[in-house]
Amino acid sequence: MAYKVDQEYDYLFKIVLIGDSGVGKSNILSRFTRNEFCLESKSTIGVEFATRTLQVEGKTVKAQIWDTAGQERYRAITSAYYRGAVGALLVYDITKRQTFDNVQRWLRELRDHADSNIVIMLAGNKADLNHLRSLPAEDAQILAEKEGLSFLETSALEAFNIEKAFQAILLDIYHIISRKALAAQEGASSNGLPHGTTINVSNLSAIRNKATCCTAN
């Protein structure tokens, strides 16, 4: 896939939304990209994506966020969905224990199809429905620590922690990429090679200097 140079951003990061049907993925996406929420949204069919450009440590980052159906029968071809993704927001519904129990299944799917360096945030959505809560935040926190994920409770309805969740994912991705670029530069100078050598950021597919990183591995 060609790398399209775009003057309007420094990095393009592909992030995927995953989790059971009805947990609020599409509303998280619409809240983050358009500041909209719909109480009666329909199940997603196929794949949609939306973008938002924001600042991360002084760099202009375009987040391209992909959304698909949680329901198996509506899901688009999995490998294409995950290809080139550098971040994932794994969503469950704090009022539906089953959606949390399925988190392990989603993690397996990520491991099977996504880059092993992918940054994953676990989000317990619908935090506004605290009175209907079916699991404590501590359970999710324990799982997140065990699996090496970040964790936040969110509410697309109240716009609670949505911004924070994406900012945290983007910052993590940015740090990983900066570290890799630095390591590559240091490797190049210790080899006595001149500066300006191609930087290989391995599987994460992120290329510096206004190029896309949401392309095929």
Ligand X SMILES: Nc1nc2c(ncn2[C@@H]2O[C@H](COP(=O)(O)OP(=O)(O)OP(=O)(O)O)[C@@H](O)[C@H]2O)c(=O)[nH]1
Q: Does 22 bind ligand X (CB under 6 A)?
A: yes
Residue in 70, 84, 87, 124 binding ligand X, rule: CB under 6 A = 70
Q: Does 44 bind Mg ion (CB under 5 A)?
A: yes
Residue in 3, 34, 36, 43 binding ligand X, rule: CB under 6 A = 43
Tell me the residue nearest to ligand X as measured from the CB.
Answer: 24
What string marks each residue from 12 to 41 as x (binds Mg ion by CB under 5 A) or -?
A: -------------xx---------------
Cα separation, 175 vs 86, in Å, equals 12
Q: Does 64 bind Mg ion (CB under 5 A)?
A: no
Q: Which does 157 bind (CB under 5 to 8 A by kind): ligand X, Mg ion, none?
A: ligand X
Q: Does 39 bind ligand X (CB under 6 A)?
A: yes
Maximum Cα–Cα distance across the chain? 63
Closest C-alpha among 183, 186, 177 to residue 208: 177
Residue in 125, 161, 205, 212 binding ligand X, rule: CB under 6 A = 125
Cα separation, 169 vs 115, in Å, equals 15
Residue 217's Cα: distance from chain center in Å? 17
Burial class (CB in 10 A: 0-12, 13-18, 19+), 98: exposed
Asked if 173 and 86 count as a contact pair (C-beta separation under 8 A), the reply is: yes
Binding region for ligand X (CB under 6 A): 21-27, 38-41, 43-44, 69-71, 125-126, 128-129, 155-157
